[in-house]
A and B are shown apart, each in its own frame.
Chain A
């Protein structure tokens, strides 16, 4: 239960900070949902703001998020800035007791995230971190099967996340460690780490390797061994510089003593020893329509989850504390890679 006496039953007025592609996407989805209206947007680039003003004259625009927070009476704030600019506006929201949503990953380092986590501890307010893969049908069905114990005791996993994105030196904030917190691992494979933590619980030991080839400042390739507290272990591999992955693609294979499963964005295959046959669920099998689809049904479900949670004054179940856990694993991989030895998560 989230404290707070704010009335969340009427029309919810939302503000969005950062108008990159995720800012645009959430603005569209929020505006399409019943009972929600996007009142104001923030971006620090004139070109972007003017483009938006041309397209949607009814929405107020600001260059500084503090001006928006001072002038508008908002019930909800979405933070979709470059990663290094996530925690400061989030802390402002905590201070003003405005529920907030932050895109993934939570921050550029655990120290960065801790400032926000401590603020929320002192002064709780509803919040959510945008690990949208939890709302993809195949991944949520896999969670159900793993939790059901149908696979028996878990023994081993391997996992990957690939996309064909970078084959030259990248431009923009994603490729500067200072603003992104890291390369493919922090920017993209944070999704995969969140899924692994969601599926298997906490991690105790990490070994990591990273490699830069196209980027100067951040890693393009990551390989990591992860040991979970339950004794189960496996591998993670990620890159944004592999060919033939038009879209970002996650794949997780889990072996248990009674069966196994493979899950991707497209399908889930399950093999249970005693049944002796494969069961395949395509996303077509699992599909359910959403109120409004913009960029994939998972984003609509994610935003509805946020709205429903704050209306019911319920915790989102994927908040800054979960965001911090992901960040610790990412930092563990970077530390292990630079020290060339295993890292105990408790020490982070």
Chain B
């Protein structure tokens, strides 16, 4: 299944900014009004953008509700959930401990029959049923996206990279089967370790995976190095959704996209759009590129 060539990112809406926390705070203030988020999404749609990534941040439900009120958007946009919202888990683990966090996270699913069965055995059920807990976590995370078009579901880089560090092939296989079988979507993976991930996927026999990884001219968040990530991109059969293309706003779109156009296997970009001017600029550069799938 092919994914949209341009996917609207969500960081700017929920106060994630890897250039400056000061700028993140300004954006939180600006986008605290959900209508302003909806305006950006609508303008992105007008320019031809059809894909949107959204992490399961506490505002996800509210944003999806707003989108649902605009029939054109809710019918025609494709959504790419990024699960889970890792910082939320960390904050909750800091606040109530690991077990408290798990209970709290699973709470929205407390009406589901599956979870009722699980919780009947109390927390002890985790003893036997690690994968069942994992599947319930995925169900809970994807609740806000119920009824919308979901082409691919991305596993957050923290979890992908943790499973990768532990060489837990079984977790990757479980995730892929579960997303395909239950949501009819492509299972996909965010990572900060593109080179290591693709080498392991090849070893485990995973064919043409869909991976979201940083690709930018200055090598920001490209591990172990820009050169090694570029080499693996050329060498392996993979679809890449490029993120951090502007290195979190550090690069200008012109230089950023000129670099990306020379790379193979990059099928899509995540773009962080926070204003009309910004959207115009990005689309101008992307649409000017010869040979790239125009949208």
Contacts and interface: CB of A to CB of B under 8 A. Distances in A.
Interface of A: 19-21, 24, 27-29, 31-32, 45-48, 50-51, 53-56, 165-166, 168, 170-174, 244-247, 249, 264-267, 282-284, 287, 289-295, 297
Contacts of B124: 46-47
B149 interface: no
Contacts of A27: 165-166
Given A31-B165, A56-B166, A165-B95, A267 B123 contact: no
A293 B223 contact: yes
B24 interface: yes
A29 B166 CA distance: 9
Contact of B127 (A46, A165, A244, A247): A46
B21 A249 contact: yes
B28 to A, nearest CB: 6
A266 B161 contact: no
Contact of B15 (A20, A246, A291): A246
B166 A295 contact: no
A53 to B, nearest CB: 8
Interface string B101-113: 0100000000000
B98 A20 contact: yes
Contacts of A55: 130, 163, 166, 168, 171
B166 A50 contact: no
A296 B141 CA distance: 24
A265 B15 CA distance: 16
A27 B124 CA distance: 24
Given A29-B165, A171-B97, 18 more contacts: A20-B97, A21-B93, A21-B98, A32-B164, A46-B127, A50-B127, A51-B130, A51-B133, A168-B95, A244-B28, A246-B24, A247-B87, A282-B250, A289-B219, A289-B225, A290-B224, A293-B192, A295-B158
A332 B263 CA distance: 56
Nearest to A50: B127
A257 to B, nearest CB: 28
A248 to B, nearest CB: 10
Nearest to B166: A56
Interface in B117-152: 123-124, 126-131, 133
Given A32-B165, A284-B248, A287-B221, A293 B193 contact: yes
B183 interface: no
Interface residues of B, number: 56
Interface in B155-192: 158, 161-168, 171, 192
A172 B224 CA distance: 37
B96 A171 contact: yes
A201 to B, nearest CB: 29
Contact of A21 (B90, B171, B226): B90
Given A284-B250, A289-B223, A265 B21 contact: yes
A278 to B, nearest CB: 15
B35 interface: no
B31 interface: no
A297 to B, nearest CB: 8
Candidate in A27, A173, A290, A292 with the most chain B CB atoms within 10 angstroms: A292
B223 A47 contact: no
Contacts of B226: 289
A25 to B, nearest CB: 8
B56 to A, nearest CB: 15
A88 to B, nearest CB: 20
A292 B24 contact: no
B247 interface: yes
B91 interface: yes
Contacts of B167: 31
15 contacts: A20-B97, A20-B98, A32-B196, A45-B99, A50-B126, A50-B127, A50-B128, A166-B95, A168-B95, A173-B97, A244-B28, A246-B16, A246-B87, A266-B21, A293-B192
Contact of B196 (A45, A249, A292): A292
Contact of B222 (A166, A249, A265, A289): A289
B220 A28 contact: no
B123 A264 contact: no
Contacts of B171: 55
Contact of B95 (A170, A249, A267, A294): A170
Candidate in B97, B164, B250 with the most chain A CB atoms within 10 angstroms: B97
B94 interface: yes
Nearest to B28: A244
Contacts of A45: 98-99
Considering the complex of A and B, which 10 residue pairs feature the smallest CB-CB distances, nearest first? A54-B130, A28-B165, A172-B97, A50-B127, A293-B192, A32-B165, A284-B250, A171-B96, A289-B223, A289-B225
